[in-house]
Chains A and B, each alone.
Chain A
Amino acid sequence: MDIRIPIGLLFVILGFILAAFGIWSAADAVLYARALGRNVNLWTGLLMLAFGGIMLLFPLLAARKKRSQNL
């Protein structure tokens, strides 16, 4: 098992949930008052999406390389 796949998937799923919720709740000033007015959900969500994407990219590229070698 390539551990990068489950890590990548988890980060993409959680990142998507957080970012989507961040966009949906962006106007809620009361909610983000704790975080000094920063939309931490959106930013953390995007960070996780990017990281999860990179994690998934490695095994994807490796699989493609293998396929082209087999041809």
Chain B
Amino acid sequence: MVENFTLGFIDYAIMAIYFIFVLGIGWALKKYMKSSSQFLEGGKNIPAWITGLAFISANLGALEVFGMGASGAKYGLMTAHFYLIGAIPAMIFLALFMMPFYYGSKARSVPEYLKLRFNEKTRGFNAFSFAIMTIFASGISMFALARLMEVMLHWNFNYSIIASAVVVLIYTYLGGLKSAIYNEVLQFFLIVVGFLPLVIIGLKDVGGWNGLTTQLNEVAVSKGYAAGTWTSMWQYMGSASSNPMGVDWIAMFMGLGFVLAFGYWCTNFLVVQRAMAANSMSGARRTPLIGALPKMFLPILVIVPGMIAMALMSMPGKGLVLIGNNGQTDYNMIIPTMLVHYYPTGILGLGITALMASFMSGMAGNVTAFNTVFTYDIYQSYFNPGKSDEHYLKVGQFATIFGVAISIAAAYVAANFNNIMDFLQLIFAFVNAPLFATFMLGMFWKKTTGNAAFWGLLAGTSASAVHYSVTIAEGKGGWLAHLAEYPSGMAQGFWTAIYAWSVCFIVTIVLTFFTRQLKTDSDLTGLVYSLTPKTRDEAGIVWYEKPVIMAVIIGAISIVLTIIFW
């Protein structure tokens, strides 16, 4: 439920013009789609600034806009940990240490790297779990988009699902990965310009940053926490009970900062695929670094609105209500509600367009990662190897249609579960957390054997399932037993990830000593750190384009931000 508003002709015109451009980009790229590599890998000729912006934009879907806005309200500035400690170090690590193995090897996808480094079954396990994960993530963005169209445009929910699916299908089917990447860049700029005025007006309304701090101090005290908890990042993390997130610094540092962040940014093919589409090795390495720069400032657009909403709700005169259909406070709807609250007709159309752009980039990113993994790692390896490239191009296009179709099914599943976001976070913890241990050992310890990697990964994934079944938080988990209780779902997620990673790490090391290494050193050249010649920057790149220098600058800015908002 949102307050009364009307959309004028101009709002619809803005949306229509945006859709013409999105579809037009797909149409213009259609003529290049002559091979499976063009369609699924983007032709490997995209400049780094484009892949860099696509790198973060592909993530800026429903989960980030709804999830981070909601967390900004519930936990305050601590949510920014997902950006500073939860993304920047991992993005730097990916750029400096891991990208040479992804871009430099013959692998066309993350699962294919696992095949080259380990064996077929490790690839198969990752390919299937990743495919399922992308379909759910795409379905959730589709669900969010359809809900938005239902609430804002008063469209029928079923028609909205079909309409959003058709638009994304057309531009990814026509122009493949390149079309998705180009549109992600367009969508990124639209999201910035669509949300920024909202933050500025909202901040003015609560009396600037000082007004926001004062108001949130009252909120914090009324909820039984120390005054500064909503507006500082590290200050109240000494123990889990002193902050609303229910997380202490160890869980934050190890769970989010180490396992989840590195697992997500370094091994999730959705983001790695964007870097692999860059036009050179240094471009691929620059991709996460170029993305990291705007990434550090995204909290202004997605977390600050949540904090403003929390402050406004405690100020009765401001008239901001966040009530869902069930009568409970619906934190997920913060950004749409605030758009309607502050935006007059005209810019309201732009704001809604920005939200749609965000959800569409979330969908298209997952669909283009799905069709690549499906074509190369599932179809070509298990169903029909050795066919012509033309055949695999057809399969890739079919996989795009098929991926969108099952995302629709996933969107209806999402519509029937109110905790689907938590569910997806849980899948991340199951899939990505143990995988990072496999990658670390695989890339930096040449002895690691294929069998050890496979069973280690399986053990790690099972460990996260077991941990989730025996602990409980906010009434979730604990199907089998109640051995421990966490103060929040987030704390449970972080600890699940820590256990999954540790079990995978230890089991893989132990099994390596009991299994035979079937790969020779020459098999592993280009895949393992000690057997690969050091990556040199191409001649002729300027000093500020050097990955190491960029990494130092980004690291320094994020440290300064951490100190300012300590």
Q: Measuring CB to CB, which residues of chain A are less than 8 angstroms from any residue of chain B?
A: 1, 3, 6-7, 9-11, 13-14, 17-18, 21-22, 25, 31-32, 34-36, 38, 40-41, 43-44, 47-48, 51
Interface size (B, Cβ < 8 Å)?
A: 28
Q: Tell me the bound Cα distance from A3 to B28 in angstroms.
A: 11
Q: Mark B1-44, 1 if CB is under 8 A from A, else 0.
A: 00000000010011001100100110011000000000000000
Within 336-368 of B, Cβ neighbours of A (below 8 Å) are at 341-347, 350
Q: Tell me the bound Cα distance from A17 to B18 in angstroms.
A: 13
Return B231 CB to nearest CB of chain A, in Å. Answer: 22
Contacts of B204 in A (CB 8 A): 36
Complex contact B201–A35 (CB within 8 A): yes
Does B205 belong to the interface (CB within 8 Å)?
A: yes
Complex contact B186–A21 (CB within 8 A): no
Complex contact B347–A18 (CB within 8 A): yes
Complex contact B347–A14 (CB within 8 A): no
Does B182 belong to the interface (CB within 8 Å)?
A: yes
With A7-B185, A34-B344, A35-B343 as known contacts, state yes or no: A51 contacts B193, CB within 8 Å.
yes
Complex contact B343–A34 (CB within 8 A): yes
Complex contact B193–A47 (CB within 8 A): yes
Complex contact A17–B10 (CB within 8 A): yes
Complex contact B14–A17 (CB within 8 A): yes
Q: Measuring CB to CB, which residues of chain B are less than 8 angstroms from any residue of chain A?
A: 10, 13-14, 17-18, 21, 24-25, 28-29, 50, 182, 185-186, 189, 193, 197, 201, 204-205, 341-347, 350
Contacts of A40 in B (CB 8 A): 197, 201, 343-344, 346-347
Complex contact B24–A6 (CB within 8 A): yes
Complex contact B17–A14 (CB within 8 A): yes
Complex contact B28–A1 (CB within 8 A): yes
Q: Tell me the bound Cα distance from A1 to B21 in angstroms.
A: 14
With A36-B204, A36-B205, A38-B201 as known contacts, state yes or no: A3 contacts B344, CB within 8 Å.
no
Return A64 CB to nearest CB of chain B, in Å. Answer: 20
Q: Tell me the bound Cα distance from A13 to B189 in angstroms.
A: 14
Contacts of A47 in B (CB 8 A): 193
Complex contact B21–A10 (CB within 8 A): yes
Complex contact B347–A1 (CB within 8 A): no
Q: Tell me the bound Cα distance from A47 to B197 in angstroms.
A: 11
Residue of B nearest to A48 (CB): B193
Q: Tell me the bound Cα distance from A22 to B347 in angstroms.
A: 9
Contacts of A34 in B (CB 8 A): 341-344
Residue of A nearest to B50 (CB): A3
With A7-B189, A13-B17, A44-B193 as known contacts, state yes or no: A25 contacts B25, CB within 8 Å.
no
With A6-B24, A21-B346 as known contacts, state yes or no: A36 contacts B14, CB within 8 Å.
no
Contacts of B10 in A (CB 8 A): 17, 21
Complex contact B18–A10 (CB within 8 A): yes
With A13-B17, A17-B10 as known contacts, state yes or no: A41 contacts B344, CB within 8 Å.
yes
